[in-house]
Amino acid sequence: MQNLPACPQCTLENTYLDGDNLICPDCAHEWPATAPTDDGEEGSAVIKDANGNPLADGDSVILIKDLKVKGSSTILKKGTKVKSIRLVGGDHEVDCKMDAGSFMLKACFLKKA
């Protein structure tokens, strides 16, 4: 039997694991299975680029493919170097500023310079 945590919303212990999320069938609450670390930051996952190299705040990266900007006709070209990135939470892990503006990018489209 698995030792899964109780639901943080209704506190019942009838939870189950579904992929990367824990689910409570009683109140339908879903939350990530990764526990927050002791220092208050969410998760301890290291953000890695397309080649598997760990990224850190202030790194320089290069785009590995052309990216269309949603809601705009702007295209970020492959090979563009982005300096001084900032790591943030969410599905778009990298926040950066370029000549075309400020963008949030997924790390899978970047390689460390």
Q: How far, in whole angstroms, is CA 30 from its chain's centroid?
A: 17
Percentage of the chain modeled with pLDDT above 90: 49
| Mean pLDDT taken over the chain | 86
Burial 77-109 (b: 16+ CB within 10 A, else e): eeeeebeebeeeeeeebbebeeeeeebebebeb
pLDDT above 70 for 112: yes
CB 83 within 8 A of CB 58: no
Residues 16-65 have pLDDT tens digits of: 888 888 888 888 888 887 755 444 444 557 899 999 999 999 999 999 99
| Domains parsed from the chain with CATH numbers | 1-35 (2.20.25.10), 61-112 (2.30.30.40)
d(CA 3, CA 16): 10
pTM (2 d.p.): 0.60
Confidence label for 6 from pLDDT (cuts 50, 70 and 90): confident
